[in-house]
Structure 1
Amino acid sequence: MRYEDPWYDALASGWGESGSLSTPVVEVPTARREREDGAVAAAQVYLEVQRSAAFQEVRGRYRRFVVPATVGFFLWYVGYVVTATTAPDFMARPVAGAVNVALLAGLGQFLSTFLLTWAYARHARLRRDRAALEVRWDTQELTREARGGGGAW
């Protein structure tokens, strides 16, 4: 029996492996083998790109911004929660009229979220987007070549 479905990989684990009479003989179509060879070549391209200096630079720029920003924001958030639970008298201290320290700190959480989002978008636009786009175009070009050239995108 020949199975022509191009999406068919293999029998499900445990089905038909015991030598039963109903085990089909599966022939992988030639087009499928060519696609698999292209996929292997494309995977090699992605591994090559991942090891490239340009990709490592983009990842390094990302990490140099995101790790400190994440740590700083997390400490600011935890500090707010810990202060609110351990020093309620301090948080209840009035600043101006009905506005107290807790309200200002809570509003500061919102403000810092928006500022961090703006800073991240600005950092990405100024320091990573162009380099990442160049890596992306190079990767697509190399992938096209690895799969056998051409093709209109």
Structure 2
Amino acid sequence: MVGDSKVTGRRRSETEPSGQYAPIAGYERFRLLRWRYRRAALVVGTVFLGWYFVYVGLSAFARDFMARTVTGHVNVALLLGLLQFVSTFALAWTYVAYARRRLDPLAGELR
């Protein structure tokens, strides 16, 4: 398979890169790209999961608040549930915009 390492008789250290991308792993631009990607993934993941757990926590422990009627048969829980969808698309759009502006140019340089 592509990227499989072959046994050469010596042990690879933990900091030594392996696989087909090993030559590029030492470039500073590649490390910058990895750092930016990891930071963006951490921020987006944290925001998404944080907002989701707030919603679940409110549903479990603040039932009176979630049951408040906003208008007609629409309550706070329904509005916050719909905001989950809106926020998911907003986070995806934000990540795509960030990737186009900050990640794609670096990746293009490395090609």
Taking structure 2 as the reference length, the TM-score comes to 0.78
Stretches of structure 1 that go unaligned for 5 or more consecutive residues are: 1-42, 138-153
What's the secondary structure of 1:50's corresponding residue?
helix
Q: Select which of 72, 77, 80 maps to 1:102.
A: 77
Stretches of structure 2 that go unaligned for 5 or more consecutive residues are: 1-17
1:48, distance to aligned residue in structure 2 (A): 2.5
Q: Deviations over 1:84-105 (max 9, x none)?
A: 0111111000112221110110
Equivalent pairs counted in the alignment come to 94
Letter in 2 for 1:55: F
Letter in 2 for 1:121: V
The percentage of counterpart residues that share the same residue type is: 45
Partner in structure 2 of residue 119 of structure 1: 94
Taking structure 1 as the reference length, the TM-score comes to 0.57
> Which contiguous aligned blocks of 4+ residues in structure 1 show a shift greater than 4 angstroms?
none
1:65, distance to aligned residue in structure 2 (A): 1.4
Partner in structure 1 of residue 29 of structure 2: 54
Partner in structure 2 of residue 78 of structure 1: 53
**Which has the greater radius of gyration?**
1
| Distance in 2 between residues matched to 1:58 and 1:116, nearest whole Å | 20
Q: CA RMSD in A?
A: 1.6
| Distance in 2 between residues matched to 1:106 and 1:45, nearest whole Å | 44
1:44, distance to aligned residue in structure 2 (A): 7.4
